Every structure is written in C-alpha cells, then in structure tokens.
Amino acid sequence: MTLADSDWDIRLFIYQALAEGSRAPDAVTISKRFGISPDETRKALRRLHEAHALVLRAGSSDILMANPLSAVPTDYRVLLGDTALYANCAWDALGIPAMLGADARIKARHPLTGEGLELAVEGDRLSGCRGLLVHFALPFHQWYDDIVDT
C-alpha cells in the first residue's frame, strides 16, 4: 500500500503528541489540525493501520500504538526526565530512548511474576538488566497476525 505525504504528516503529528507525553490525538483533533473532514481522517488512519505505520483499536479509528509508543497505559513506563511515556512491550521500552536519542529510566513489570523491574538507558549503555532477556514468542513476520498479543 502506498501512503500519501499527507498520511505521513498525520503519522508524524501522532508521534509528536505521544512523544511529548500527550494523549494520542483523536480523529476530530487530527481533522482540525489538517483541515480535512473526520471521514478523510478516519480513512487516512485506516491506511496507516493497514500499512503497519500505526495500530488502531479493533473496530475503531482510535489509536492504540505508534510503535514503539503505546497510546494506552501499559506495564512498560519509560521516563525521560519529567515525561512519562508508555511502551507496548520490553523491546519497545528500549526502542523509545533509541528513537528519541534520550536517556531514560524504564519501570516495568515482569510478565510472568508481576515483579517490578527498573532499567536505565544512559547513552549507549543499558543497566539494571543483569539476568534478564527479552523473549520473542513469534518470529517477526508473524507479529502483525495479532500485534496486540505478540
């Protein structure tokens, strides 16, 4: 699927809002920002979703993920100074500081035990991860079969 420049502009607007610690903009907010109808906005969001450029909540035009950022609270909080962001998983929690080129503290919950975990990313170093590993249950080419549960 080919995305228009305007689709990419909408995606950038969404990423900027999430990276600032704001909520994901809804279709009305996006429509007003870009001077397009809510229907045109929903179509653009659907195109972005189908191109795996973001993830919508099932059956709606509400933004769920703009990987590695989550639009909803999760067990993976990434703290960049005073800004708290959410990641979709452990891998994405590491991707946020890499994407933004920033140091971060990561507060997470172990998915099996619920134990609290704290990591730090400082420059190109990760600390607090001794004995931990990130496990991928599925190969990458299957992630979008069900991106929420992957």
Q: Are residues 50 and 77 in the same domain?
A: no
Q: Are residues 60 and 10 in the same domain?
A: yes
Task: Tell me the DSSP string of 85-138.
Answer: EEBSSHHHHHHHHHHHT--EEEEEE-TTT--EEEEEEETTEEES-TT-----SS
For residue 137, being part of any structural domain is answered with: no
CATH number of 39's domain: 1.10.10.10
Residues 36-76 have pLDDT tens digits of 999 999 999 999 999 999 999 999 999 999 999 999 999 99
The answer to whether 78 and 97 have CB atoms below 8 angstroms apart is: yes
Residue 144 pLDDT more than 80? no
Q: Are residues 81 and 60 in the same domain?
A: no
Residue 129 pLDDT more than 90? no
- For residue 28, the enclosing domain spans 5-66
CATH number of 112's domain: 3.15.10.60
Residues 2-44 have pLDDT tens digits of 899 999 999 999 999 999 999 999 999 999 999 999 999 999 9
Q: Tell which wins on pLDDT, 132 or 116.
A: 116
Q: pLDDT category, 102, cuts 50, 70, 90?
A: very high
pTM equals: 0.87
